[in-house]
Amino acid sequence: EAGVAQSPRYKIIEKRQSVAFWCNPISGHATLYWYQQILGQGPKLLIQFQNNGVVDDSQLPKDRFSAERLKGVDSTLKIQPAKLEDSAVYLCASSLGLQGLGGYTFGSGTRLTVV
């Protein structure tokens, strides 16, 4: 079974620029998550999708962050404009359903550096 695919693996941008990350979950996984992991901290949920609908985006900084999962499969996370404090690893995860009982599978993440 293929894992959760994320791209790019690394990205360096200047502050105030825009950036987008892509995630392709495991086939058949209805639930998709984006997490932000700042260096030295545990991952923090940004947004959770069930198919193409948003379940939870309470911790997403909506003034600069946006995410979509238009066809209920892959997803993009965008930051516009980026700030220095957005430097982090952005992890995508997927699970079979909302319960996550089948376990979550995380991608390798995109490491963003804002300079």
Partner 1 sequence: AQKVTQAQTEISVVEKEDVTLDCVYETRDTTYYLFWYKQPPSGELVFLIRRNSFDEQNEISGRYSWNFQKSTSSFNFTITASQVVDSAVYFCALSGTNTGNQFYFGTGTSLTVIP
Q: Which residues bind partner 1 (CB under 8 A)?
A: 31, 33, 35, 40-45, 48, 55-56, 89, 91, 93, 95, 98-101, 103-109, 111
Minimum CB–partner distance for residue 40 and partner 1 (Å): 7
C-alpha–C-alpha distance, residues 8 and 98, integer Å: 27
CB 89 within 8 A of CB 111: yes
How far is the CA of 24 from the CAs of 33, 74, 105, 108, in angstroms?
A: 11, 4, 12, 12
Minimum CB–partner distance for residue 71 and partner 1 (Å): 22
Minimum CB–partner distance for residue 16 and partner 1 (Å): 26
Based on CB atoms, which residue is closest to partner 1, 56 or 85? 56
Based on CB atoms, which residue is closest to partner 1, 32 or 79? 32
Based on CB atoms, which residue is closest to partner 1, 46 or 82? 46
Our measurement of the distance from residue 68's CA atom to the centroid of its chain's CA atoms, rounded to an integer in Å, reads 10
What one-character DSSP code corresponds to residue 93?
E
